[in-house]
Amino acid sequence: MTQPRNKVVIFLGPPGAGKGTQAERLAREEGLTKISTGDILRDHVARETELGQRVRPLLDAGQLVPDDILIALIRAYLAEMEPVRVIFDGFPRTGAQAQALDMLLEELGAPVTAAPLLEVPDELLIERIVERGRQAAARGEAVRSDDTEEVARRRQQVYREQTQPLIDYYAARGHLRQVDGVGTMDEVYARIRQALG
């Protein structure tokens, strides 16, 4: 049996575009590991590793974890993987993180395969997010604090400011794959698969 090849996918898209759901499905069907830096951080804290002890006070204080620590965490995580088959969802968030991740992946001989960007018009994103809050309330569940129109609009603005440099970064390297994020989950997923070849 041939060893599966390295595959590194960076999911991009605004809040409410359905990245998380699509990334989980792709991970399941392609045999990829979905990487959430938040999950890795919490795991290190729980295991009380050296890195975990460094980040615990930052997390407890609600501060952002510095890029060098995040990259060290990802390095430790990926170093145990052979081959490297991952989906990043929610990382990198800045150009500096993207450059650091690229350098690490090159070292590991597992460069970025593709960076699919789920594109959904702002007004539809706001509708989706507010509807998600409405449905949670109807089921008697706690509504996420960011599932309000005001917060959703602010998050869209922050996303545009912070993520545009990332989009430009991956486009310049030929990794960006623009995907129409409007339609049923199956339709969007089919477009993602097509974009990834």
pLDDT band, very low/low/confident/very high, at 143 (cuts 50, 70, 90): confident
Say if 35 falls within a structural domain.
yes
The binding site for ATP comprises 16-21, 132, 183
pLDDT of residue 33: 94
* Residues 76 and 12: beta-carbon distance below 8 Å: no
Whether residue 1 is contained in a domain is answered as: no
Residue by residue, DSSP assigns 147-195 as -SHHHHHHHHHHHHHHHHHHHHHHHHTT-EEEEE--S-HHHHHHHHHHH
Q: CATH number for the domain including 175? A: 3.40.50.300
Q: What is the pLDDT of residues 153-184, one digit of tens each?
A: 888 887 888 788 899 999 999 999 999 999 99
**Number of domains, the chain:** 1
Contact, 32 vs 49, CB < 8 A?
no
Q: Is residue 149 part of a domain?
A: yes
The dihedrals phi and psi of 176, each to the nearest 5 degrees, come to: -70, 135
Is residue 162 domain-resident?
Answer: yes
Asked which of 76-80, 107-111, 186-190 is least confident by mean pLDDT, the reply is 76-80
Q: Which residues are annotated as a binding site?
A: 16-21, 37, 42, 63-65, 90-93, 97, 132, 144, 155, 183
Distance CA 187, CA 45 (A): 39
The band of 2, judged by pLDDT with boundaries at 50, 70 and 90, is very low
The pLDDT confidence band at residue 63, using thresholds 50, 70 and 90, is confident
Structure-model confidence comparison of residues 114 and 132, the more confident one: 114
Q: What is the pLDDT, as a whole number, of residue 4?
A: 60
Under 8 Å between Cβ of 181 and 13 = yes
Q: What's the predicted TM-score (pTM) here?
A: 0.81
In a domain, 2, yes or no: no
pLDDT of residue 73: 85
Which residues participate in the annotated binding site for AMP? Answer: 37, 42, 63-65, 90-93, 97, 144, 155
Q: Residue 3 above 80 pLDDT?
A: no
Bond preceding residue 92 cis, omega within 30 of 0 = yes
d(CA 61, CA 78): 27
Tokens matching residue 165: 């440099």
What is the extent of the structural domain holding 116?
7-196
